[in-house]
Amino acid sequence: AQSVTQPDIHITVSEGASLELRCNYSYGATPYLFWYVQSPGQGLQLLLKYFSGDTLVQGIKGFEAEFKRSQSSFNLRKPSVHWSDAAEYFCAVGAGHNDMRFGAGTRLTVKP
Amino acid sequence: NAGVTQTPKFRVLKTGQSMTLLCAQDMNHEYMYWYRQDPGMGLRLIHYSVGEGTTAKGEVPDGYNVSRLKKQNFLLGLESAAPSQTSVYFCASSPDRPLGYEQYFGPGTRLTVT
């Protein structure tokens, strides 16, 4: 069964600094990969997804992620973080409609 | 277009009580899901449905039941609540496409069992 690891439980960055959130997965074939963001007290919102094709995918709110098959990674990046980006971020791996696995999440704090 | 809505937003139960959580979606999605979210564990799938009248077990189904009598609604029931069921519950839905089946989430229900 596929699994997802987000190695960083909590990350703090300064506003305006760059951001990279790590995600590693375990799966036998090329999986479907997602990043979701959860603001406090809210549900999850899709930031971006990868199914095939170009390994660098662009998402909403200025986020991008790169699929690296050799490293089994799908890291999320943003060149300049805004205070409103403070939230919890979840990486997810999907093998089918009923088989989505989520990582434990990375909480992002943004310092002024 | 409200997307995915959940009722109620908060609930406190005593051990042994029962309750039903309601999820509704207005996007005509075939697939619907119930997850629970616990600190440090991400989201875990409780039950899901691939269409009206169908349900199936997910990763952590024990202590829960579900029903999908109408395509737009997916109900999650707790027959005899236990403190271990204290959690935040999320409903989600997704369209029936071979690709691009991202899930759309409701705002969640925070349940406390004392």
Most confident region among A30-44, A50-64, B62-76, B97-111 by mean pLDDT: B62-76
Closest chain A residue to B93, measured at CA: A97
By CA distance, what is B59's nearest residue in A? A99
**Residues B43-81: tens digit of each pLDDT:** 999 999 999 999 999 989 999 999 999 999 999 999 999
* A100 confidence band (pLDDT: 50, 70, 90): confident
End-to-end CA separation in angstroms for chain A: 41
Quote the tokens at residue B66: 């579900």
Cβ–Cβ < 8 Å for B14, B23: no
Distance between CA atoms of residues A54 and A22, nearest Å: 19
| Whether A102 and B43 lie within 8 Å, measured CB to CB | yes
Task: Please give the helix or strand (H or E) that residue A11 lies within, else none.
Answer: strand A10-14
Least confident of A11-25, A95-109, B1-15: A95-109
Residue with tokens 């600190």: B39
3-state secondary structure of B58: coil
Residues 6+ apart with CB under 8 A from A91: A4, A6, A21, A23, A25, A33, A34, A35, A74, A76, A102, A103
DSSP state of A61: G
Distance in angstroms (rounded) separating the CA atoms of residues A67 and A84: 25
The percentage of residues in chain A with a pLDDT greater than 70, rounded to a whole number, is 98
> Cα separation of A81 and A112, whole Å?
10
Q: What is the mean pLDDT of chain B?
A: 93
Evaluate if residue A46 carries a pLDDT over 60: yes
* pLDDT at position B95: 87
Confidence of residue A40 (pLDDT cuts 50, 70, 90): confident
Best to test chain A binding among B21, B41, B103, B109 (most A CBs inside 10 Å): B103
Cβ-based neighbour number of residue A37 at 10 Å: 21
pLDDT band at B99 (very low <50, low <70, confident <90, very high): low
Looking at the complex, report in whole angstroms how far the Cα of residue A71 sits from the nearest Cα belonging to chain B: 22
